Amino acid sequence: MTDQRWPAALAEARLHVVSGKGGTGKTTLAAALALALAAGGRRTLLVEVEGRQGIAQVFDTPPLPYAEQRIAVAPDGGEVRGLSVDAEAALLEYLEMFYNLGLAGRTLRRMGAIEFATTLAPGLRDVLLTGKVKECVGRTVGDGRGGRGRVPLYDAVVLDAPPTGRVVKFLDVTKAMGTLARTGPIHSQSEGVVELLHSGRTAVHLVTQLEDLPVQETLDTVDEIHEAGLPTGAVLVNRVRPSRLPATALTGAATGAGPGTAGLRSGLEAAGLFLKDEEVDGLIAETVEHAERVQVEAAVRSRLDAAGLPQLELPELAEGVDLGGIYELAELLREQGVR
């Protein structure tokens, strides 16, 4: 049986691109997703491309070098590796591969030559970064049976992508290639990247919160993703807080009628709480704010529903997000069908 929150098509994806408005918890949920997908003894790779060292912060490890290394172990034996891709290092890697620069590569980097080349054509930077991601998705190892069979090294690759404002431009490698030479090694690699990104092996997920601006950006980005012909994944609704109020009290509170002071006071007294007027007023003020927020959430949620994408929900963690929180979020993703 498939859970519609994580349809079978998403379970097939090998590359999970995670974007979202800044501040919504994009990196946190990319990390939780990599951990959730590693369950059951699988191996996943979590990649960042903006040099922020966000992965190291989330997993509380020293800054990641330009090399894949283990950053977390899933509860039942799976493994998450992390990689911070850097466009300049990726370019050097290419040059090494095709031109055998040897030590000279480092000299070039010191001179600023590499930065120059990646800056001169902004498309090049994106092509290099996505190219490295594609290489990771496609890398294989022996199947461990001693024969010639090979299996993918990573069961899934999760990309902590640029935020919603930039992500489609970043993934639209076809456009970026327009600024580059029509032939040569990077060009042919890019064709493979385009093929991967526009196939069912990729899913672009968007992280949001139930607030006006993040939801609006999510909807705008969904349109952009469709226009660019990229495959959409799920919407990850982050920091969902429970609605504590009974439905009847909710509308009353939100429309300014207040939750009914007399009834509330007698209820509080039944709980053994005999409070001063200003305390009761304070509780009412908190309740009204909550009710207003729940109404805003309901309104933006219906706009989000109209996008028709699968949705997963993650709660606001009372203790904030630390390493334990990532494991908790990963488990919640598993419970909602992520595999």
Of the candidate residues 7, 138, 152, 165, the single one contacting other proteins (CB under 8 A): 165
Task: Give the whole-angstrom CA distance, residue 230 versus residue 197.
Answer: 7
Q: Choose one: 60-68, 76-84, 282-290, 330-338; the region binding other proteins (CB under 8 A).
A: 282-290
Report which of 193, 116, 202 is spatially closest to residue 185, judged by C-alpha positions: 193
Residue 205 β-bridge partners:
18
C-alpha torsion 75→81→84→86, nearest 10 = -160
- Provide the minimum distance between the beta carbon of 140 and other proteins in the complex, in angstroms, as a whole number: 27
The smaller minimum CB distance to other proteins, of residues 120 and 151, is found at: 120
The smaller minimum CB distance to other proteins, of residues 214 and 337, is found at: 214
The smaller minimum CB distance to other proteins, of residues 293 and 339, is found at: 293
Of 235-274, binders to other proteins (CB under 8 A) are 241-242, 244-246, 249, 259-260, 262-273
Q: Does residue 81 come out as left (phi exceeding 0), alpha (psi in the -120 to 50 range) or beta?
A: beta
The smaller minimum CB distance to other proteins, of residues 195 and 279, is found at: 279
Of 303-322, binders to other proteins (CB under 8 A) are 316, 318-320
Task: Give the whole-angstrom CA distance, residue 46 versus residue 38.
Answer: 11
- Provide the minimum distance between the beta carbon of 76 and other proteins in the complex, in angstroms, as a whole number: 29
The smaller minimum CB distance to other proteins, of residues 199 and 261, is found at: 261
Of the candidate residues 67, 141, 285, 323, the single one contacting other proteins (CB under 8 A): 285
The smaller minimum CB distance to other proteins, of residues 152 and 260, is found at: 260
- 214: which 2 tokens? 């993040």
Q: Write the binding mask 85 to 124 for other proteins: x where contact by CB under 8 A, - elsewhere.
A: ----------x--xx-x--x--xx--xxx--xx-xxxx-x
63 binds other proteins (CB under 8 A): no
Of the candidate residues 2, 69, 179, 255, the single one contacting other proteins (CB under 8 A): 179
- Provide the minimum distance between the beta carbon of 313 and other proteins in the complex, in angstroms, as a whole number: 17
SS3 assignment, position 238: strand
The smaller minimum CB distance to other proteins, of residues 151 and 299, is found at: 299
- Provide the minimum distance between the beta carbon of 125 and other proteins in the complex, in angstroms, as a whole number: 9
Q: Write the binding mask 29 to 58 for other proteins: x where contact by CB under 8 A, - elsewhere.
A: ---------------------x-x----x-
The smaller minimum CB distance to other proteins, of residues 44 and 190, is found at: 190
SS3 assignment, position 48: strand
> What is the number of other CB atoms lying within 10 angstroms of the CB of residue 172?
22
| Helix (H), strand (E) counts: the chain | 15, 10
Q: Is 24 exposed, middle or buried (0-12, 13-18, 19+ CB in 10 A)?
A: buried
Q: Does residue 186 come out as left (phi exceeding 0), alpha (psi in the -120 to 50 range) or beta?
A: alpha
SS3 assignment, position 16: strand
Q: Are 190 and 178 in contact (CB under 8 A)?
A: no
What do you get for the CA distance between the two ends of the chain, in Å? 13
